[in-house]
Structure 1
Amino acid sequence: MVENGAGRDRLARVLRPVRAGNGFEEALEQILQTIRLGLVRHGERLPSERELAGRMGVSRVTLREALKVLAEQGLVVSRRGRYGGTFVHSPEPPAEGARLGAEVAEVEDALRFREVLESGAAELCAVQGLSGVPAQRLRTAMEAAGDAEPADYRRQDTLFHLTLVELADSPSLTAQYTAVRARVNELLGRIPLLVRNLEHSQAQHAELTDAVLAGDPERARRAAREHCQGTAALLRGFLT
């Protein structure tokens, strides 16, 4: 159990209000961190849905979606009855300190660099203004990602983002982005595909495309950053 004062103090280090825009991804990240850090150990019960939702500032529906993912991954089990709730089940043992530190630093570096490059590319595209063939390329790539089957989603998602960066018309930026995107894709290949996240990602793709084609640099940068931060939250939760 973690429902005593000491347990609540420990959880306060991880569970906090999420930012607007990526509620599901950030809620999942925080619960995963709680488990990975051993703040709630194997066989112990997580706080109630009401408390978790309140701490993170998300709806009960969003919280339940996150808990469902954890159950599907075998990290929690739900039990009914008077002594029921959601219990941590067989989390992976923590990595050795040095290796974990290196992994966290590597993941953070890749995620931050991706965000900087992609938000910059989105802003440049919006400033330059896309019309005609370039605008159609971006729309087509966005729609292809939305229509993709789960098995092909990550390839189409990559093509959408590469198209956006290429349209910024900076070979140096494209080269740097291609390298960091390869690293991000390797990390994404180590976590499960989540339908809820794919739906959210496609909505963000549409917002990003609309902002770029509307010639709104600030909105385009904001949309790109928010999208990158959602992906980053998932990767941090599962991998670090």
Structure 2
Amino acid sequence: MDDLERELRDLATWLETPDVPDVRDRVRARLSAPARRRRWRRWLAAALAALLVAALPPGRAAIADAVAGLLRFSGVVVETTPASDPPTGAPSPLPSQRSVSLDEARRHVRFPIRVPAALGAPEQVLVADPDGTGTYRVATLLYRGGALRLDAFDGRLDPVFHKQLGGGPGVEWVTVDGDFAVWIGGPHELAYIDRAGVERVETARLAAATLIWEDAGVSYRLEGQLTRDAAIGIAGSLD
């Protein structure tokens, strides 16, 4: 057994995973289709991993992290830690957070802000953590009085959110529009990581169930009192 296979088998005991889907035909179809700006290498890596064990994260670096109890996916760091007391008190908002119109938010971020058709127009829009040019790093759409939120950000390079599971909910690999996503099915600690890579502990709070996915270079984090299937349905309705 080589090192990669051993890491994959170790990871299977760390994650709570669904039954392994047969993705071979779907991967072959994608590879034979005309070239598109898709993450085909991620599909290939994930397909190979699925043939060995359960539905696993793409890329060997992610596998090594997950074996160590740490997972990085689409700008979010998910860490398993010993159970501890959840954050108390009102958390601080994200750095320089302010409320804006949807049109204004779209002018002040470097990525498209898409609205899920399943939810309609947001009740409130927030932007946070600007750089020196006034370009914001995170945009948040709020629904249901703020109980349901959709964060959008460019998570391809630096981590943006840090989640600590603390022995509570498990991580489940699912798909959104055919691409891999992460589902965390219960409350967990959440903190923000700023542009300098510093975790803002004052922003730490207890987050609800969350779906994390990426589309066209933009990372999304949908959080609220939702079932897994409802969250996937909302994610698949981005317009």
State the TM-score, normalized to the length of structure 2: 0.26
| Greater length-normalized contact order (CA 8 Å, ≥ 6 residues apart) | 1
Q: If each structure's helix is expressed as a fraction of its own residues, which one has the higher value?
A: 1
Rg larger in 1 or in 2?
1
Q: If each structure's strand is expressed as a fraction of its own residues, which one has the higher value?
A: 2
